[in-house]
């Protein structure tokens, strides 16, 4: 393996600390997604969906390939692939740890508070799509519908001021990660939204408040504040989703109404 002392800093600059990269040449970095997690690498990773990004080190500002991830602690690994030495932030079979790193990505902005208004449950909106996506992903049908209701009011053509699109109001980059070809297709949007919610539920161990916060404001914002961010729009969004979740549970018969005692 190529373990020259000068190799690791150069690779770290190229793969991990993109914002601090220096030099006078263009470089290619692969942004790879697997099971809802992102890694950066110097070559496509087997088993991941990877997109090549080329950069000129002379540009004034390099984009944040991680997405809104806040402070990231990780490791840089080296391995042999197709007879070449490659580096990645994901530990794959045959990898050897080169070094640890901590990198803070640029802060992101909170997402929109949602285009849908709190109201009665609307079970007539895309019923087959929601049932299918909930069954395939394992996400609670009532929760999936509540997010869609809060996000777009079930408007398949909705576009927010932040650029989120479709029934589930997915940002273009998120939609692409989940293989969405038409962001305004109700079926594709609902399926991708369900998979994204499933990934968030795994990340936050089923804490629906954090799931809603991350869906609205981004994973990085939740990480940066160590929980629900102090954004009024995000806090109002969470309250809206929680109220809608209960209404859809009642409408779907998965939650029993609270009976008040006679006065």
Query: Is 151 annotated as catalytic?
Result: yes
Q: Tell me what the pLDDT averaged over the chain comes to.
A: 80
Range of the domain at 42: 7-104
Which residue in 45, 68, 151, 188 is the catalytic one?
151
Nearest-angstrom CA–CA distance, 156 and 161: 15
Supply the pTM of this predicted model. 0.60
Residue 21's pLDDT band, with cuts at 50, 70 and 90, is very low
Using the predicted structure, report yes or no on whether residue 247 has a pLDDT greater than 60: yes
Beta-ladder partners of 96: 78
Residues 240 and 131 in one domain: yes
Q: At residue 14, does pLDDT exceed 80? A: no
pLDDT at 158: 93
Q: Crossing angle of helices 232-252/141-152, nearest 10°? A: 130
Residues 151 and 71 in one domain: no
Tell me which of 40 and 141 has the higher pLDDT.
Answer: 141
pLDDT at position 4 is 36
230 contact partners, CB below 8 Å, separation of at least 6? none
Q: Is residue 202 part of a domain?
A: yes
- 47-83 tens-digit pLDDT: 888 888 776 554 444 455 555 445 567 788 889 998 8
Q: Which of 215, 234, 132 is nearest to 174 (CA)?
A: 215
Regarding whether 237 and 143 lie in a shared domain, the answer is yes
Helix (H, G, I), strand (E, B) or coil at 207: coil
- The answer on pLDDT for 20 being more than 50 is no
Distance CA 228, CA 239 (A): 12
pLDDT band for position 205 (50/70/90)?
A: very high
Of the candidates 87, 146, 102, the residue with the CA atom closest to the CA atom of residue 122: 146
Which helix (H) or strand (E) segment is 103 a member of?
strand 96-104
Is 15 in contact with 76 (CB distance < 8 Å)?
A: yes
**Sheet of strand 26-34, all strands in order from the earlier edge strand to the far edge:** 49-56, 26-34, 37-41, 84-88, 71-81, 96-104
- Residues 194 and 225 occupy one common structural domain: yes
For residue 124, the model assigns a pLDDT of: 96
pLDDT of residue 200: 95
For residue 217, give the CATH number of its domain: 1.10.530.10
| pLDDT higher than 50, residue 167 | yes
3-state secondary structure of 50: strand
Does 79 share its domain with 140? Answer: no
Pairing of strands 37-41, 49-56: unpaired
The separation between CA 196 and the C-alpha centre of its own chain, rounded to angstroms, equals 7
- Domains held by the chain: number: 2
Residue 27 has pLDDT above 80, yes or no: no
Q: Confirm if 151 and 115 have CB atoms less than 8 A apart.
A: yes
Q: What is the pLDDT of residues 83-141, one digit of tens each?
A: 888 888 889 999 998 887 766 555 555 566 778 888 899 999 999 999 999 999 999 99
Same domain, 87 and 138: no
Buried residues in 151-171 as b, exposed as e (16+ CB within 10 A): bbbbbbebebeeebbbbbbbb
Same domain as 86, residue 155: no
Cα–Cα distance measured from residue 99 to residue 92, given in angstroms and rounded to the nearest whole number: 15
């Amino acid at each position: 393996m190529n373990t020259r002392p000068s190799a690791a800093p150069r690779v770290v600059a190229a793969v991990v600390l993109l914002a601090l990269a220096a030099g006078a040449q263009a470089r290619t970095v692969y942004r790879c997604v697997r099971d809802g997690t992102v890694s950066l690498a110097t070559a496509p990773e087997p088993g991941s969906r990877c997109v090549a990004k080329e950069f000129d080190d002379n540009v004034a500002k390099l984009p944040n390939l991680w997405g809104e991830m806040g402070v990231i602690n990780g490791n840089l690994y080296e391995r042999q692939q197709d007879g070449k030495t490659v580096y990645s932030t994901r530990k794959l079979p045959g990898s050897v740890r080169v070094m640890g790193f901590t990198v803070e990505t640029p802060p992101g902005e909170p997402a929109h508070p949602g285009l849908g208004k709190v109201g009665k449950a609307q079970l007539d909106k895309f019923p087959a799509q929601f049932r299918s996506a909930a069954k395939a992903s394992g996400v609670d049908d009532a929760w999936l519908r509540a997010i869609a209701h809060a996000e777009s009011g079930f408007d398949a053509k909705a576009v927010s001021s932040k650029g989120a699109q479709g029934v589930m109001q997915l940002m273009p980059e998120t939609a692409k990660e989940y293989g969405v070809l038409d962001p305004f297709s109700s079926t594709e949007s609902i399926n991708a939204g369900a998979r994204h919610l499933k990934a968030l539920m795994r990340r936050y161990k089923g804490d629906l408040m954090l799931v809603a916060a991350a869906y609205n404001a981004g994973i990085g914002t939740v990480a940066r504040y160590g929980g629900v961010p102090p954004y009024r729009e995000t806090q109002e969004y969470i309250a809206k989703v929680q109220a809608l979740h209960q209404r859809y549970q009642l409408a779907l018969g998965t939650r029993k109404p609270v009976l008040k005692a006679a006065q």
